[in-house]
Copies of this chain bind each other. A is one copy, B any other.
Amino acid sequence: MDSHLLLIDCPDEKGLIHKITGILFQHNLNVEDQGEFVDQATGHFFMRTEISGSFNREVVVQELGQIVPSKATVRLEEKREKNLVLLATKEPHCLGDLLIRHAYNELNAQILAVVSNHEHLQELVEKFDLPYHHIPAQNLSREQHEQNILAVLDDYKPDYLILAKYMRIITQTLLNYYQNRIVNIHHSFLPAFVGAKPYHQAFERGVKIIGATAHFVTEDLDSGPIIAQDVIPVSHTKEASDMVRAGRNVEKIVLSEALRLVCENRVFVHGNRTIIFD
């Protein structure tokens, strides 16, 4: 008995849900969980269905292809744990949180390895018996450095790259291979405080809330589709360093929540927005 995910997005059309579920019904499949959404502005249809039952995947995909509009994207995947490679720099809080979750099977994903441009986190990663790849960036262009990372990734072929406080800008070199598959955690409630030292920017601006944003990485810095955000209140008694400390709690929770959504295929990217079935 297989458990699968059917993920469809296409221009909206009358009768789509009926036709799609009809094929599932004809194959005697159980719909365990289903969500649909039509983006009114663009007339685009999204559907995520968890199904169980035995079936010939090729046949079902072919039949689905015949009833959806021509510009549809249809994915029918076995439900499985996704494979991740984490990228980090020096800060341990997001990485450590993921390592603990992974060690106790709470991540619903497999961490294959950790890549870092520094050595600082090696000891932590090795406590958890995971490979640590130190790929220094000194004297390298961003592209050369990313080529070195790609060479390591080639051994792992992860589903997603997770930037667990990886403090370098990502270029097209990596993006070409991991389109909508790189998740970053930014330490502000985007679009406020793009770029470096957002907590210091927040302190200077005198905001009363700070936050964190998990998003897919695109060519534009801190501007990709947002997956999850959360905030906490701060008062005037908190200096930038206090915000850094308090913000870590938000960052790691938001990142892990985004990973849950991404790894369970609950997230569709639509332009610069995300559709999330949760």
Which residues on A are within 8 Å of B, measured CB to CB? 14-15, 17-18, 21-22, 24-25, 28, 30-41, 92-93, 96-97, 99-101, 103-104, 106, 124, 127-128, 189-193, 204-209, 211, 225-231, 233, 235-237, 239, 245, 248-249, 253, 256-257, 272-276, 278
Contacts and interface: CB of A to CB of B under 8 A. Distances in A.
B106 A100 contact: no
B191 A189 contact: no
B14 A18 contact: no
A interface secondary structure, majority: mixed
Contacts of A21: 15, 17-18, 21
25 contacts: A17-B34, A18-B18, A33-B38, A93-B100, A93-B101, A93-B104, A93-B106, A96-B96, A97-B100, A100-B100, A100-B124, A189-B189, A189-B209, A190-B192, A190-B207, A191-B205, A206-B272, A206-B273, A207-B229, A208-B227, A208-B229, A231-B231, A235-B276, A249-B256, A253-B253
B15 A25 contact: yes
Contact of A25 (B18, B97, B193, B228): B18
B235 A208 contact: no
Contacts of A275: 236
Given A18-B24, A93-B100, 18 more contacts: A14-B28, A14-B31, A15-B21, A18-B18, A18-B22, A37-B236, A41-B239, A92-B100, A127-B127, A189-B189, A189-B192, A191-B192, A192-B192, A205-B226, A208-B227, A209-B230, A233-B233, A249-B253
Nearest to A260: B245
A152 B32 CA distance: 47
A48 to B, nearest CB: 12
Contacts of A245: 106
A226 B233 CA distance: 13
